[in-house]
Structure 1
Amino acid sequence: MSGERVYVVKVGEKEIPIDEKTLSILHEYVKTPMGLEELAEKLGLEGWEEAYEFIKSVPAWILWTPPSLWTHRRKWIESKNQAG
């Protein structure tokens, strides 16, 4: 392992890692008329209820971070945490 921190959002017993792929799906959900059923299917969740719980659990700063900036922002936050 590279020792990089992995951000996850827990939904029930599942842990959904936040990465570029997940962020791309979230941005598609936010910017298009995608329903919770379709979101659940794309994320591998059981149904719209789990998708709803996932959306409620994702911090806003993650939800609005463009996938292309995810790696940079994650490293910046980690450096801030180590400095403070």
Structure 2
Amino acid sequence: MIKIGMLLPYEDMLLIAKRVIEETGIQVDYIKVVNTVDAVNEARNAFEAGAHILIVRGYQTKLIQQYTRLPVFCTD
């Protein structure tokens, strides 16, 4: 089974994401609000914790793609 990670830039997005996850029954194994300056390191942490793919958005996506080879899905 593929493990999904999700990094979000704002707390209100976390609340929305949790509601959608609950309503749809999708399993997200790693979900966290991160500052943009921490996005690359947090992406690496998510993969070390077992995530196979990350759902991210905005500038955080660009940074993770630029500085890692981790598979990301951009929600923008």
TM-score band by shorter chain is 0.3 to 0.5
TM-score, L = length of structure 1: 0.31
Kindly indicate which of the two structures has a greater share of residues assigned to strand: 2
Structure number with larger C-alpha Rg: 1
TM-score, L = length of structure 2: 0.33
Kindly indicate which of the two structures has a greater share of residues assigned to helix: 1
Bigger RCO (CA 8 Å, 6+ sep): 2
